């Protein structure tokens, strides 16, 4: 990020614009949305600009150093390269931040595209990379955000102090969500600004009287790693969570989607690696949900596949805490998709086995005879270290060394690797992997 977005207090700022034509007018229109004190210097000034006096101060000659006293922002907007460069140099000498219109390299700052629902203001920028994209995003946001948003936010701001009487966290958030999602827009449409205030008053009274919310736990499936493989429900819950307790396998891109104020707790779980004792995970969930928090227990892949889900749900039930499970994409599905194959195929396999190569005791025993048979399809989870063991057991039960084996490492992630081999080559190929992998 070369350009860092900030919101500048313009109530106390002086802005100087050099230029009096169309380019200057475009910037001026934006700046007039602010409370800044504006001076515009140019020998020739468009009548449309002149009409803004006395809101702006006009100086009918080229910009000089003496015009810049106390100026915080300087726009070089003459459209003439040499003149813009002269103004930029003066601005720099005066210690102001300079924008040379349409010249990224020569500018200290750039003016983003703006979606204005003041006090809700959205700035969009691509550091000059993709103006087309900026226009598209702006159009989408303009369409998505109701015009009443600014009014709602302004009224909401006046109620903030009162809303502090609601306990921080889920209850206060629920109040504001109800205001912005339903009560506020509805009141605005039917009775305008005054109606919004009355409705907000009533809503606050209702929330202040409400019984304290009970915490609960959502077991959310994070999928194999690609954030786009999350379900809509998973995204919505992540967006509302107070606490996210996640496995180490869950990728950073997915954790990014959690509410910014959410407490993120990593509970490591890696075969053979360091791990958080299961009882500690139970205690964490019960403590946070018991205190009224909305807890998301985020598990890699599908929460119900080799994730000790039932142990965790039982612990919560025993503690009297409500929970639900949100299903997701398991690693075997992602692995099959990555090689463009079907996990079941008419005439080839009538069953699909998802097996784990290791369990609490070590390497897991299986119905090896069935797995070794012709046409059987198996997805092996946690199989990297156990690859030689799996190979040995399958050979013992008559599998051919030519049995097709595909390893998919980091399925659905940018680092995804696909290795096609045979049962004979399995241990050697598995030993070379470093990320999570499915053996098909």
**Residue numbers of the site for ligand SAH (CB under 6 A)?**
224-225, 249, 271, 299-302, 305-307, 330-331, 335, 381-382, 408, 410-413, 436-438
> Residue 398 in contact with residue 384, Cβ under 8 Å?
no
3-state helix, strand, coil in the chain (%, to 5): 40, 20, 40
Task: Exactly one of 247, 299, 302, 384 is catalytic; name it.
Answer: 247
User: The tokens of 364 are what?
Assistant: 């897991």
Long-range contact pairs involving 110-114 (C-beta distance under 8 Å, separation at least 24):
110/3, 111/27, 111/30, 112/5, 113/137, 113/138, 114/30
- Considering the complex, state which of residue 198 and residue 434 has its C-beta at the smaller distance from ligand SAH: 434
- Considering the complex, state which of residue 90 and residue 222 has its C-beta at the smaller distance from ligand SAH: 222
Nearest approach in angstroms of CB 87 to ligand SAH is 54
Task: Exactly one of 27, 269, 299, 384 is catalytic; name it.
Answer: 269
Active site residue 247: yes
Nearest approach in angstroms of CB 414 to ligand SAH is 11
> What is the C-alpha separation between 339 and 418, in angstroms, rounded?
8
Active site residue 174: no
CA end-to-end span of the chain, whole Å?
Answer: 41
> Residue 49 in contact with residue 29, Cβ under 8 Å?
no
> What is the C-alpha separation between 82 and 89, in angstroms, rounded?
11
**In the complex, which residue's CB is closest to ligand SAH?**
301
- Considering the complex, state which of residue 59 and residue 433 has its C-beta at the smaller distance from ligand SAH: 433
Which residues on adjacent β-strands are paired with residue 244?
264, 296
Nearest approach in angstroms of CB 147 to ligand SAH is 43
> What is the C-alpha separation between 62 and 87, in angstroms, rounded?
9
- Considering the complex, state which of residue 84 and residue 302 has its C-beta at the smaller distance from ligand SAH: 302
- Considering the complex, state which of residue 280 and residue 359 has its C-beta at the smaller distance from ligand SAH: 359
SS3 255: helix
Nearest approach in angstroms of CB 409 to ligand SAH is 6
> What is the C-alpha separation between 297 and 283, in angstroms, rounded?
13
> Residue 423 in contact with residue 401, Cβ under 8 Å?
yes
Nearest approach in angstroms of CB 380 to ligand SAH is 7
Which residue numbers are catalytic?
Answer: 247, 269
């Amino acid at each position: 990020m070369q350009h860092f977005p900030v919101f500048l207090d313009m109530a106390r700022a002086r802005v100087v614009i050099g230029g009096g034509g169309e380019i200057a007018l475009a910037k001026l229109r934006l700046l007039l949305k602010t409370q800044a004190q504006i001076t515009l210097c140019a020998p020739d000034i468009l009548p449309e600009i002149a009409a803004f006096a006395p809101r702006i101060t006009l100086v009918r000659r080229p910009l000089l150093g003496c015009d810049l006293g106390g100026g915080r922002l300087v726009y070089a907007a003459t459209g003439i390269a040499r003149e813009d460069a002269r103004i930029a140099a003066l601005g720099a000498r005066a210690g102001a931040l300079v924008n040379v219109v349409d010249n990224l390299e020569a500018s200290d700052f750039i003016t983003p595209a703006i979606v204005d629902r003041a006090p809700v203001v959205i700035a969009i920028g691509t550091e000059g990379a993709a103006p087309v994209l900026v226009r598209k995003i702006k159009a989408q946001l303009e369409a998505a955000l109701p015009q009443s948003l600014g009014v709602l936010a302004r009224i909401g701001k006046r109620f903030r102090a009162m809303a502090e009487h609601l306990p921080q966290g889920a209850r206060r958030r629920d109040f504001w969500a109800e205001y912005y999602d339903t009560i506020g827009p509805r009141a605005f449409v039917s009775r305008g600004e005054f109606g919004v205030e009355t409705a907000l008053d009533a809503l606050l009274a209702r929330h202040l009287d409400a019984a304290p919310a009970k915490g609960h736990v959502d077991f959310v499936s994070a999928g194999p790693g690609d954030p786009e493989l999350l379900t809509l429900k998973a995204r919505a819950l992540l967006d509302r969570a107070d606490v996210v307790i996640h496995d180490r396998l869950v990728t950073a891109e997915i954790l990014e989607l959690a509410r910014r104020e959410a407490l993120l707790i990593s509970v490591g779980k890696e075969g053979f690696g360091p791990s958080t004792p299961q009882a500690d995970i139970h205690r964490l969930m019960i403590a946070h949900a018991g205190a009224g928090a909305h807890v998301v227990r985020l598990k890699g892949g599908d929460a119900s596949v080799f994730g000790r889900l039932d142990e965790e749900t039982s612990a919560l039930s025993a503690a009297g805490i409500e929970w639900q499970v949100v299903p997701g994409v398991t690693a075997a599905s992602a692995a099959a998709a990555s090689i463009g194959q079907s996990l079941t195929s008419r005439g080839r396999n009538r069953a699909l086995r998802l097996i784990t190569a290791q369990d609490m005791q070590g390497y897991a025993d299986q119905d090896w005879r069935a797995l070794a048979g012709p046409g059987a399809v198996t997805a092996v989870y946690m199989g990297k270290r156990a690859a030689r063991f799996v190979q040995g057991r399958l050979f013992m039960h008559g599998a051919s060394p030519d049995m097709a084996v595909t390893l998919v490492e980091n399925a659905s992630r940018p680092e995804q690797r696909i290795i096609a081999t045979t049962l004979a080559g399995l241990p050697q190929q598995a030993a070379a992997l470093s990320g999570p992998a499915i053996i098909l």
